Homo-oligomer: A and B are copies of this chain.
Amino acid sequence: MSRGRGRPRKFDEVEVRQAIMHCFWAKGYTATSLDDLSKATGLVRPSLYAAFGGKEDIFLAAMNDFAARTRAYLTDKVPPEAHPRAALQAVFTAMLDLYQTDEGGRGCLVFSTATAEAPAHPEIRDKLQEQLAGSDHQFRRLLERHTPSAAAQSLDAAAVLAAATLHSIGLRARSGVPRPALDDFAASAARSIAALLAGSSGEECTG
């Protein structure tokens, strides 16, 4: 589509974007140099600049790419109909898979990497805040789909706790906590939040 008039590109854009994402994911924004990106993508520096703009533009795109990858993985792995606890468990487990790498735990590019840059880079901060609100919203929708009987306030409370759990999971994964401990953490949180939801909807408390 739209094969322009000039010299055609020699690189596959999605591959390049993925390589960029992995660079930033591993080392963060500031510690990743344009030379790192150049080596990882095979693109020379001016080509990077021409195709994606400056370093900050490239990073903002990587944040979007990571979020898109997350959404795709989640819709693929979470069963559409399940009890809240099973749904939460499925989400957390999927995210744990996604937060891991061959070279060890990496956590979330957005929540564990962009955060450090927020005060100095307003655009990164704004996008981070936006994706933060997105995680709250997604959990809210997930829970209300699986527990329509719960009160709105309880749904909100459970959703933000679930989001907090996700943030903590990413943090722990990146700090090197071994996978079994992370699984325990996720299971415990899923059980707790589900119990909270069940308790507030009038049913009995079954921890």
Contact = CB atoms under 8 A, between A and B. Distances in A.
Contacts of A165: 161, 164
Contact of A117 (B31, B192, B200): B31
Interface in A3-43: 26-31
Which of A106, A156, A171 lies at the interface centre, i.e. has the most chain B CB atoms within 10 A of its CB? A171
Nearest to A130: B175
Interface in A94-116: 103-104, 106-107, 111-113, 115-116
Contact of A171 (B27, B111, B200, B205): B111
A85 interface: no
Interface in A134-176: 154, 156-158, 160-161, 163-165, 167-169, 171-172, 174-176
A188 interface: yes
Interface stretch (A51-59, A61-69, A74-82, A121-129): A121-129
Interface of A: 26-31, 103-104, 106-107, 111-113, 115-120, 125-126, 128-129, 132, 154, 156-158, 160-161, 163-165, 167-169, 171-172, 174-177, 185, 188-189, 191-193, 195-196, 199-200, 204-205, 207
6 contacts: A26-B120, A28-B116, A116-B116, A154-B207, A161-B164, A200-B205
